[in-house]
Amino acid sequence: MNLKETYTISIYSENNVGLLNRISAIFLKRHINIESFSTSLSEIENVFRFIIVVNIDPNKIKKIILQIEKQVDVIKAFYHTDEETIFQESALYKVKSSSLFEERHIQNVIKKSHANIVTVSPEYFVIEKTGFRHETEELRKNLVEYGLLQFVRSGRISVTKSKMKISELLNTFNKNK
Amino acid sequence: MKNNKSNKISGAEAVIRCLLAEGVDLIYGYPGGAIMPIYDELYKFQDTLQHVLTRHEQGAAHAAQGYARTSGKVGVAMATSGPGATNLVTGIADAQIDSTPMVCITGQVASHLLGSDAFQETDIIGISTPVTKWNYQITRANEIPEILAKAFYIAKSGRPGPVLIDITKDAQFEEFIFNYEYCIGIRSYNPVIDVDMNSLKNAAEIINNSNKPMIVWGQGIILGHAEDEFKQFVDISGIPAVWTILGLSALPTSHPLNKGMVGMHGNYGPNILTNECDVLIAIGMRFDDRVTGNLETYAKQAKVIHFEIDPAEINKNVFADIPILGNCKDSLTKIIPLIKKRKHDSWINRFDSLMEIEEKEVIKSDLYPTKEGLTMGESIKTINNYTNGDAVIVTDVGQHQMVACRYASFIKSKSNITSGGLGTMGFALPAAIGAKMGAPDREVIAIIGDGGYQMTIQELGTIFQTKTAVKIVVLNNDFLGMVRQWQQMFFDKRYASTEMVNPDFVTIAKGYFIDAERVTKRNQLDKAVSRMLSTDKPYFLEICVEKEDNVFPMIPTGASVSDIRLS
């Protein structure tokens, strides 16, 4: 059995109801667990972008990409290794306000992690940290002892180092039409 | 006068006008609450758009498939929400895996009730997503023209497949100004890739320099309307050609280079020589596991040239040294001038001598049995004697299917209708109804086992009501024969739930006023088949065959194609 690798899949697509279901079904059918999944607008108007992170055999990833591209509403799909992309995750931490004033050490933790304080209220305050998984994870571990009320981390978002050429692709379609 | 009320039509009427614009004159379906507005319009348009009422929605889906497969047009099936829609799903899954162009229209509860667990509400978009090429839920009438135009375009373009359109009841009632435009392209969808001439040149060079080449063709030839180009390619190259089950009938059975079937119950020579050929030319086929057996030992010695329309099929199961993407009609047309005229006499002799072994070990006792009981093989042979290969043969799934595909002879394309990829028991009877309506001038013979027949037997009602002259042959061995064969071979004859205590099939057919008879002895067979094929009415023939016959040759699961067994 081949060792699994982490791949970031980028999908440019139409924004149609049900496409998310159609794409996740491709993974479900093959019993592949999705590590993270995020969607947003892309750089092109009316074109959506999915970023999906999976750990799979290198020989499976190409086949998955072809199955994704086969979907009618998908414009183009790519896969990249971590070296080929610039990627980040965002995390939010909700902490009891009392610890901010009573435990001086927490201020050092926040400062050292380059996290931002988003809001402060008498009961709680919220910290935001964007970075690599090990960075947001380290901050989470450090905050646990001060009473972490809530923690949430986003899926990976990423851009590629190479060009995607989606506008060119769409222009070719418009010309041929 | 844009806002003149008289220019407005209902969503339901728009659906009918869209179907007519797409050239649809026949649909299969079953009414119900959430699709009643569309049925009300069907009533008004009954002179131009025929609706066939099946006895179950699964029957409507399979009939639409059968219609699509013989006519080459898009099959249309219609059902109400909830159970109506879910009953279509088996047929949709079958059409997806066998690349059959089909548009299914389902009614849905009114949009304000979506998600409320309303009466007969089901999430058919969610359910059908993995088994459709595309699907869409319409909640506003003004979406209908564009979406239905897209549905037909997607269903029939590129690698064909099923599309499901779910329409809420309020969208069917809503009135709007109708305007229809054909879909000519979708920016996110590239159905056919242009053929790359360099790949073709490389392929031609390999083919021209090969010593032991073999062609394996599939349904792509039929779906691509490339039968003539394919025959030319075979004739010029002189290469022996073998078929997958869905490719059957694209080249006449009697063609000297047609060397039979590959796969689990295919012919001896084609399977063995798959692992001896130096070049394997796969055209419009997808290397299904029933074709390849163990992939680790499949044609490893051969250079593989893969003609294929769907990029996702390239290197999916078998690595292609030279992939040739595009419509095979186009790629074959372009490669023919590059192909040298050759003869491969000694290589072809290998096929023929292996066929001699198969004839001696298997075929002789199948077609000319000396034992008392009737065989499936001699039943098919007797049918051949009367059709001379000029009939559409519709088969179900199991032993009878393998035997029919091995022994039925064909002279025309689009004549073998079967459930290949999904293996759907119950497919044949409703598919035969559609096949006959799609090719009304042809003889359509459904060959079915006693198991699969009872899965959709209610469609006898459709045959009776529509007077569709299909000929139904049930090869009855009182067993789920293929499963029983596996139990015998791999489970020490523990026949768990495979024996069937069957009803009187002749009486049942007669209950539907269909002429029927039963044959139990060899000396009755010929006349019975003759009677069946001399009537222009529907006819039912039960042939009681040997109970525990097995289908050979056979490649056991997980074995290599060259380990094919003759007994």
For residue A177, the chain B residue with the least C-alpha distance is B185
Chain A CB within 8 Å of residue B310 CB: yes
CA distance A170 to B14: 31
Q: What is the pTM of this model?
A: 0.96
Calculate the CA dihedral of residues B449, B452, B457, B458 and round it to 10 degrees: -170
B558 in reach of chain A (CB within 8 A): no
Q: Is B482 a catalytic residue?
A: yes
Q: B464 catalytic, yes or no?
A: no
B296 touches chain A (CB under 8 A): no
Q: What is the ipTM of this complex?
A: 0.93
Residue B282 · residue B305 · CB < 8 Å: yes
Every domain of chain B with CATH number 3.40.50.1220 lies at 197-351
Segment B542-553, tens digit of pLDDT: 999 999 999 999
φ, ψ at B455 (rounded to 5°) = -80, -30
Q: Do B154 and A72 touch (CB under 8 A)?
A: yes
Q: Which of A13, A29, A72 shows the shortest C-beta gap to B134?
A: A72
Residue of A15, A72, A175, A177 to mutate, testing the B interface (most B Cβ within 10 Å of its Cβ): A72
* Cβ atoms A13, A74 nearer than 8 A: yes
**Cα(B537)–Cα(B436) distance, integer angstroms:** 12
Please name the helix (run of DSSP H) or strand (run of DSSP E) that holds residue B490, with its range, or none.
Answer: helix B481-490
Residue B328 has pLDDT above 90, yes or no: yes
Cα separation, A163 vs B306, whole angstroms: 31
Note the pLDDT of residue B3.
47
Topology classification of domain B197-351:
Rossmann fold (3.40.50)
**Domain B5-177: which topology?**
Rossmann fold (3.40.50)
**Residue B56, burial from CB neighbour count under 10 angstroms (0-12, 13-18, 19+):** buried
- What average pLDDT does chain A have? 93
Q: Which residues of A touch B191 (CB under 8 A)?
A: none
Query: Under a CB-based contact definition with an 8 Å cutoff, are residues A70 and A128 in contact?
Result: no
Residues of chain B within CATH 3.40.50.970 domain(s) are 5-177, 368-544
| Confidence tier at A1 by pLDDT (50, 70, 90) | low
Instruction: Find the residue in B nearest to A169 (Cα).
Output: B187
Choosing from B57, B174, B227, B313, the catalytic residue is B57
Q: Is A8 exposed, middle or buried (0-12, 13-18, 19+ CB in 10 A)?
A: buried
- Asked about B513 being catalytic, the answer comes back as no
A13 contacts chain B (CB < 8 A): yes
In angstroms, the CA B237 to CA B185 distance is 36
B281 interfacial to chain A (CB closer than 8 Å): no
pLDDT in tens, A31-86: 999 999 999 999 999 999 999 999 999 999 999 999 999 999 999 999 999 999 99
- Is the Cβ–Cβ distance between B95 and B162 less than 8 Å? yes
Known active-site residue B58: no
**For residue A30, what pLDDT band results from cuts at 50, 70 and 90?**
very high
In the block, residue with structure tokens 């005229």: B341
Which chain B residues are closer than 8 Å to A22 by Cβ?
129-130
Q: CA-to-CA distance for B168 and B170, rounded, in angstroms?
A: 6
Backbone phi and psi for residue B280, each to the nearest 5 degrees, phi listed first: -110, 115
Q: Do A16 and B137 touch (CB under 8 A)?
A: no
DSSP for B271-316, written as a single string: HHHHTT-SEEEEES----HHHHBSGGGSSTTSEEEEEES-GGGTTT
End-to-end CA distance of chain A: 46
| CATH architecture of the domain with range B368-544 | 3-Layer(aba) Sandwich (3.40)
d(CA B421, CA B34): 32
| DSSP at A46 | T
CB contact under 8 A, B312 and A72: no
Q: Considering Cα of B111, then B112, then B118, then B124, what sign does the dihedral take?
A: positive
Residue B1's pLDDT band, with cuts at 50, 70 and 90, is very low
Cα–Cα separations (whole angstroms), residue B34 to B43, B82, B121: 16, 9, 9
Q: Quick check: B185 contacting A, CB < 8 Å?
A: yes
Kindly state whether A173 is in contact with chain B, defined as any CB-CB distance less than 8 angstroms.
yes
- Among B8, B50, B120, B488, the active-site one is B120
Structural domains of chain A sorted by starting position, each given as residue range(s) with its CATH number in brackets: 5-80 (3.30.70.260), 88-153 (3.30.70.1150)
The dihedral through the CA atoms of B65, B68, B69, B70 has a sign that is positive
At B258-268, the pLDDT tens digits run 999 999 999 99
* Structure confidence by residue, pLDDT tens digits, B37-95: 999 999 999 999 999 999 999 999 999 999 999 999 999 999 999 999 999 999 999 99
Angle of helix A133-144 versus helix A104-113 axis, rounded to 10: 180
Say whether A70 and B312 touch across the interface (CB within 8 A).
yes
| Contact between B125 and A22 using a beta-carbon 8 Å cutoff | no
Chain A: give the shortest CA distance to residue B424, in Å. Answer: 19
Give me the count of residues in chain A. Answer: 177
Q: Which band of pLDDT confidence, cut at 50, 70 and 90, is reported for residue A2?
A: low
Q: Measure A29 CA to nearest chain B CA, in Å.
A: 8
B133–chain A Cβ distance below 8 A for any pair: yes
Q: What is the reported pLDDT for A102?
A: 81
Residue B153 in contact with partner chain A when CB distance is under 8 A: no
pLDDT tens for B234-257 read: 999 999 999 999 999 999 999 999
Q: How far apart are the first and last CA of chain B?
A: 77
Least CB–CB distance from A75: residue in B136, B187, B315? B187
- pLDDT tens-digit series, residues B442-495: 999 999 999 999 999 999 999 999 999 999 999 999 999 999 999 999 999 999
Q: What share of chain A is helix, strand, coil (3-state, %, to 5)?
A: 35, 40, 25
CA-based nearest residue to B183, from A142, A22, A66, A177: A177
> Catalytic: B22?
no
